[in-house]
Amino acid sequence: MSKSLMQSPLHHFDLAKQAVKPDGRHGVWAGELPLAGYIALRGDSATPAFVEAASSALGVPLPVTPCTLAQSGAVKVAWISPDEWLVVCPREKLGATIAALERALEGIRSQVVDNSGGYTQVLLTGANASDVLAHCTVYDIAHLDPGKVVGTTFGKSATLLHRQDRGFCLIFRRSFADYLWRFMVRAATPYGFGVALREDASAAERETA
């Protein structure tokens, strides 16, 4: 499938056109991360066979500690609940990752669901990034240590949130993307807001990888 046929949930804002390399002129920068594969993984943390099978298929130990994030290479696994994870992987590896999971989990009580069309990610950086989050979410950002991921409110919507590359990564649903972006821009504007260059976001991903 050709990439030109694909549109991200924030496609209509044409962010690439507005994007510049982040610098000190604005307090807040944000950009949409490249299209990725998103896989909902369900199974029981307390079942070692499941945890082992999923970990080996993903190439990263499945995080079983509440609200933690596991990362290896370009694959990110976010704990959602004791029986749910969100796996984020490069789009190119989506099919292979799903296949590997299904193969490994054959016969084990579990669910693997491609949810790639349903999500996107935004990377929020800049000196006032955490102020913007204080406007948008009720979660206490001071408790958001590196390696932690939480599901919380964003305006009247919801997001997954974790620290990434001296900023914050928001993972949220496609149909709410327009609302979240607008709400975030509105909160960020008083601090000075710029759209961060996409290359930078990719570099950030590579850096954390």
Residues in contact with other proteins by CB under 8 A are 1-2, 5-9, 11-12, 35, 40, 42-43, 66-67, 80-84, 109-111, 113-119, 131, 134-135, 137-140, 142-143, 150-153, 155-159, 173-176, 178-179, 182-183, 186-187, 189-190
Least Å distance, CB 189 to other proteins, is 5
Least Å distance, CB 122 to other proteins, is 15
Least Å distance, CB 207 to other proteins, is 25
d(CA 149, CA 169): 9
- For other proteins, the closer CB: 73 or 117: 117
Least Å distance, CB 48 to other proteins, is 18
- For other proteins, the closer CB: 72 or 111: 111
- For other proteins, the closer CB: 174 or 198: 174
Q: What is the dihedral of CA 11, 164, 30, 153, to 10 degrees?
A: 80
**Residue 152: φ, ψ to 5°:** -150, -170
d(CA 90, CA 108): 26
Least Å distance, CB 110 to other proteins, is 7
Q: What would you report as the CA-atom Rg of the chain, rounded to the nearest whole angstrom?
A: 17
- For other proteins, the closer CB: 168 or 183: 183
- For other proteins, the closer CB: 29 or 183: 183
